[in-house]
Amino acid sequence: MAKKNNRNVGQRDEQSAAADSPSAAQSRTGSHAGQAHPARSERRAEMVQKRRDARIKLAERERRRKTMIRVGSAVIVVALLAAIGFGIWNRTQTSAMEKAVTTYGGDNAARNHVQGAVQYEVIPPVGGDHNQYWQNCGFYDKPLYNWHGVHSLEHGTVWITYQPNLPQDQIDTLKDIAKESYILVSPYPGINAPVIASSWDHQIKLSGANDPRLKQFIKKYRLNPKYTPELGALCTMGVNTTMESGVPQQQPRLPGTPEIEGTTEPIQGAATMPAAASTPASR
């Protein structure tokens, strides 16, 4: 019995020693390493993929940034070229308009307040003595008395006159323009251009209501401090008086007045001023 027990003890000692031997330890370590290696490989591959994705995204953002810079630069260049081109075109058009403008009288043109009918050398008139009541700005479908219109010119108004037989669509265009401030529009029988725009001392003959020089003329001469004798005076609170049908606006013509076309009747007599519709303060 004692020998058997000693034998069992000896076997356990051998087994324990075998388990604690370097070869056994290496075997166990290799087994665990074999299990851990796939996990590390997967994590390493995942990190590599994330880095690759990050580099791709960074490159894409950089590409978009450069594209936006190129597009933005192109837009700025196009806008600058367009602005320069428009400026050149606008100066050319304005220059063409200014060459077509006739200047009269200068700063010494008479501008006294007078009673009764007034005769003017330039038709439609561009300045001179006038009635103490100015014409209210706006659109009129009947002719106006010159001496009221001239007073409005003195206040910085542009007076647009048109032939009565002007096509209705063009009359409607002038009616829309008359909605602006310091614009006076009315028919003027006998003028020798479809539309004539006048300011104090300046006048231009136009081919129609859509002639681009009309708006250029308005832009330059309406309320221009250099050409407006009474800048700041009203174009409201005046009179709305219109002429009787068939009464000439200027009779007789004075020497130097442009010939009036489109009429076969001799020009004679002078229209008389009707009573004012209201009594505004004169200026």
DSSP, residue by residue, 164-193: TTS-HHHHHHHHHHTTSTTEEEEE-TT-SS
Cis bond leading into 252, ω under 30°?
yes
Mean pLDDT of 178-195: 95
pLDDT band at 176 (very low <50, low <70, confident <90, very high): very high
pLDDT digits over 11-30, tens only? 555 555 555 555 555 555 55
pLDDT tens, position by position, 37-77: 667 777 887 887 888 888 888 888 888 888 888 888 888 88
The phi, psi pair for 111, rounded to 5°, reads -150, 50
Is residue 7 classed exposed, middle or buried when 0-12, 13-18 and 19+ CB atoms within 10 A define those classes? exposed
Residues 147, 154: Cα–Cα separation, whole Å: 11
pTM: 0.60
- Distance CA(96)–CA(213), nearest Å, equals 8
Which of 79-88, 103-112, 269-278 comes out lowest in average pLDDT?
269-278
CA 170 – CA 176 distance, rounded (Å): 10
For the segment 196-222, the average pLDDT, to the nearest whole number, is 96
Q: Which one has a higher pLDDT value, 18 or 215? A: 215
CA atoms within 13 A on the CB side of 43: 5
